[in-house]
Structure 1
Amino acid sequence: MSETSRRTFLQISGTVLGGIAVGSQVTAAARTDRFIVSTGGRADLSDLEVVHELDGVSYAVVTGDEKDVKKSVSNYAPDLEVELNEPDVNSEVPTFDASDYEGQPGDFLQWDKADLNVPEAHETTEGEGTRVAVIDSGVLETHPDLAGPLNLDLSRNFTDDGGDHNPVGGDDHGTHVAGIVAADNGGGAGVNGTAPKTDLVDCRVFSGPTASFADILAAVVYSANVDADVANLSLGAYPIPRQGNGTFYGKVLNSAMTYANKEGTLLVIAAGNDSADLQKDKNFISLPNEGAQGLSVAATGPIGYGWDADGDDEVTDLESPPASPAFYTNYGTNDIVLGAPGGNADLEAIGTGVPWFNDLVFNTVFTYEDTDGDGEPDTQVPGYGWKAGTSMAAPNVAGAAALVKSANPDYNANQIESALKRAADVPDEYDKEFYGGGYLNIVDAL
């Protein structure tokens, strides 16, 4: 199936689209017990329970009855609970148990790092002296490839579920994202991240499949306040109406994002996986990637990496190169800043017995297993596996940003982004709407 026909098919079939990447199916529900309020620095919140003060911006997150909220502030909106459904195709690919991984060809499977010339970039820096926050579903601290980079003292749980920063249940999305940024090869037997010597901060905003919009805002502000050089947000909600409460949500998001940028934190954000032209959508907005100061990332990927996709009995050629736009990625020339490896898929190959999943991004994951024999999963077992999405493209850029900051310690957030954009080029055979400034080029950015 050609890229054009595949994209057209997915615009018609949302159910198939929902099977490829985290964030492709999104629902948002307004909470009745939790509110984002504009404080203006003067509001009396004594009758309400303050959940997040959002230090640095004139907003707070509170719980209480709406009548009490109305008495305290004049400008507010309900918190949004955003649900991101785990994609079917990501759960169908194989995984490796970390304890059985020795000898597996991790370097070969990581086409994204090879195409970005990460080993060459590491001759200059591996991210020393930088800090990257991952705002996601939690990072498994026992994973051998992440235990080194992960800063346990600064990692936080922003939800109200009472747990720590580690993932809840079997949600390994944040663990995969963190590995793309900073996996340190587990002592030589694991996988590689782009910036393995960065200081990795885990900001968990998901409790199971749901995340609060307010918790995401709080994690953005926290990342800035702990001096993160980069914050990665492989999450989002689309479509959100531009009118009504959408205006309020846009203002508070822009306030938090502008604050983070001013404090030196570059916000790298997944563009979303709806195959949508964000530039032409005048009625709805995609958040947070269309917020102020965000570096929005679209996804690319190969077709035929390590398998015979074109049927010529050769596994060394590709039907599509790694810089090809992924069929699911959102796009729009003025809404995308960079394109980067996020994984691709030939939908017709799924279920045929070929390793179609090689075209997804390979990195750290875990499985949720029954280790005590009671029939209920109870243990998170570190491993390695594949996922695809703009969720995977964003951390490739976040890791690259950490390398640029490491090589240029005096750069602020805007200068880091500028270096990445100056080095990027749009592939000759593709349209700018899928790349914005171009395809990520780490070596030239350094």
Structure 2
Amino acid sequence: MPGYSRRQFLTLSGGVLGGIAAGTTVTAATRSDRFIVQTRGKRTPRGLDVVHEMPGVRFTVVEGSERAVRKSKAVKRFAPDLEIQLNEPEVNTETPTLDAADYEGQPGDFLQWDKADLDVPQAHEVTEGEGTRVSVIDSGVLESHPDLAGPLNLDLSRNFTGDGGDHNPVGGDDHGTHVAGIIAADNGGGIGVNGTAPKTDLVDCRVFSAEGGASFADILAAVVYSANVGADVANLSLGAYPVPRNDGQFGQFYGKVLNSTMTYANKEGTLLVIAAGNDSADLQHDGNVISLPNEGAQALSVAATGPIGYGWDADGDGELSDLAAPPESPAFYTNYGTNAITLGAPGGDADTDAIGTGVPWFNDLVFNAVFDYVDTDGDGEPDTQVPGYGWKAGTSMAAPNVAGAAALVKSANPRYNANQVESALKRAADVPSGYEKAYYGSGYLNVVDAL
């Protein structure tokens, strides 16, 4: 992999300043050819290639040698960009995928317990997200998926990675497609799945490359871009944990860049909805470390909930209708912390002891749009993306349920700014009886009352 000053990789339980589905195994390395720079006023660095201008904040992403960066009189401070490599949670690798042809005519509403528990059909009697815009900062959204072709804005969707592809996943996974479906799937003409805000304008901001890597700078640039194209909501189902709270000059600089970027987006009217992470960590009492970006400035941090036994006999009494845990119960993996979490929302849970027993344990995960790679030219290598449907769990799935709800609130209240949309969601939420506030912040997402 070119562009690295050293091959010493950092391994943390959640990563360093990036990565989808926080809480998985992530490695990071600093770049030797790419830097995030703080400029002096409006001066533009010369002798360096500008990768992202990020208009609105006093930071720019450049390529060139460190020597050239140090010599530039336009540069006040700088730090190397960080490249992140990701492995998704194991529970998500065990789930089946249904291709679109096999799924046609199946009872998608039954499988979408998250939308049923949130009373999304009732909310749609008020609005389906008309007049709003939501950006998905993730691994790319498959534009050929029948449930996403309608909401997806192809003119505004962008690839921030510089890997030569477009906004679609290029050799990467279907994480972003699943996230986008939770927000805005429009039921593909009556045979697919439902999103919370199917009539929102969906903007795909791809920040993960084919190799599964994401750049911290690309994520920041996508946040600024989302604000500058008028996104009412930006969903970031990505994160890093644990990051040292006071990690010398580098840590302080990265934190300053992140907070400045997030504050700018909020000021421009973009609500940042961010996954809280999947480390089962108490973010309130975890020492001198921090989870980012969900503990950054202006973040709406989302913890995950889910049922146990949805559509299968989890308690062994012979009744498929009984649940061992309700949909609003905290997921086993979710991060928590009273002042670190804003809302709890459906992200899926799992009884890991049930995996491999033959019961449909995956029904407790979130069901929505995915795709699979198949070999169409017979060379033994998967080369074609085939749209389909499948299950995933994570705070990555909980965040888009909130992002979709935020779009509905904005649609119903067009004059609301980002803080007012968040306030409406928080006021409508309640902590479920018998559960700890630490898992919910203001409470469990209540879409209908928020309208």
Q: Shared fold (TM-score greater than 0.5)?
A: yes
Q: Does 1:313 align with 2:300?
A: no
* Structure 2: distance between partners of 1:408 and 1:79: 39
Task: Give matches, 1:270-281, under 5 Å.
Answer: 270-281=275-286
For residue 286 of structure 1, the aligned residue among 256, 280, 291 is: 291
> What letter is aligned with 1:420?
L
Alpha-carbon shift at residue 67 of structure 1 (Å) = 1.4
Q: Does 1:240 align with 2:240?
A: no
User: What is aligned with 2:28?
Assistant: 28
Alpha-carbon shift at residue 78 of structure 1 (Å) = 0.9
Which range moves more in the overlay, 151-160 or 65-74? 65-74
Count the aligned residue pairs.
Answer: 428
Which range moves more in the overlay, 243-252 or 189-198? 243-252
User: What is aligned with 1:149?
Assistant: 151
Q: Does 1:256 align with 2:261?
A: yes
User: What is aligned with 1:116?
Assistant: 118
Deviation digits for residues 295-346 of structure 1 (CA, Å, limit 9, x no counterpart): 0000000000000111111110100000000010111110100000000000
The answer (yes or no) to whether the contact 1:303–1:345 under 8 Å persists in 2 is yes
User: What is aligned with 1:440?
Assistant: 445
TM-score (norm 2): 0.93
User: What is aligned with 1:92?
Assistant: 94
> What letter is aligned with 1:194?
T
Which range moves more in the overlay, 85-94 or 373-382? 85-94
Deviation digits for residues 335-371 of structure 1 (CA, Å, limit 9, x no counterpart): 1000000000001111111100000000000000101
For residue 417 of structure 1, the aligned residue among 401, 415, 422 is: 422
Structure 2 gap segments, 5+ residues each: 1-12, 15-19
Q: Does 1:62 align with 2:62?
A: yes
Q: Secondary structure at the match of 1:392?
A: helix
User: What is aligned with 1:7?
Assistant: none
Alpha-carbon shift at residue 415 of structure 1 (Å) = 0.3
* Structure 2: distance between partners of 1:170 and 1:160: 14
* Structure 1: distance between partners of 2:103 and 2:293: 36
Task: Give matches, 1:236-385, under 5 Å.
Answer: 236-242=239-245, 243-244=247-248, 245-385=250-390
Alpha-carbon shift at residue 44 of structure 1 (Å) = 4.6
User: What is aligned with 2:52?
Assistant: 52
User: What is aligned with 2:17?
Assistant: none
The answer (yes or no) to whether the contact 2:40–2:76 under 8 Å persists in 1 is no
For residue 412 of structure 2, the aligned residue among 400, 403, 407 is: 407
* Structure 2: distance between partners of 1:40 and 1:442: 44
Deviation digits for residues 187-245 of structure 1 (CA, Å, limit 9, x no counterpart): 00000000000000000000031100000000000000000000000001112222221
> What letter is aligned with 1:284?
V
User: What is aligned with 1:103?
Assistant: 105
Q: Secondary structure at the match of 2:134?
A: strand
Alpha-carbon shift at residue 407 of structure 1 (Å) = 0.2
User: What is aligned with 1:83?
Assistant: 85
User: What is aligned with 1:39?
Assistant: 39
CA RMSD across the alignment: 1.3
> What letter is aligned with 1:22?
A
> What letter is aligned with 1:330?
N
Q: Secondary structure at the match of 1:31?
A: strand
TM-score (norm 1): 0.94
The answer (yes or no) to whether the contact 2:306–2:327 under 8 Å persists in 1 is yes
The answer (yes or no) to whether the contact 1:279–1:335 under 8 Å persists in 2 is yes
User: What is aligned with 2:391?
Assistant: 386
User: What is aligned with 1:4?
Assistant: none
> What letter is aligned with 2:21?
V
Q: Does 1:429 align with 2:434?
A: yes
Q: Secondary structure at the match of 1:444?
A: helix
Q: Secondary structure at the match of 1:75?
A: strand
* Structure 2: distance between partners of 1:343 and 1:374: 37
User: What is aligned with 1:137?
Assistant: 139
* Structure 1: distance between partners of 2:87 and 2:40: 36
Q: Secondary structure at the match of 1:93?
A: coil
The answer (yes or no) to whether the contact 1:82–1:237 under 8 Å persists in 2 is no
Structure 1 gap segments, 5+ residues each: 1-13, 16-20
The answer (yes or no) to whether the contact 1:258–1:293 under 8 Å persists in 2 is yes
Alpha-carbon shift at residue 47 of structure 1 (Å) = 1.5
The answer (yes or no) to whether the contact 1:23–1:85 under 8 Å persists in 2 is no
Alpha-carbon shift at residue 170 of structure 1 (Å) = 4.4
User: What is aligned with 2:229?
Assistant: 226
Identical aligned residues as a percent: 81
User: What is aligned with 2:8?
Assistant: none
> What letter is aligned with 2:41?
G
Change (3 A) 1:44 1:94: closer
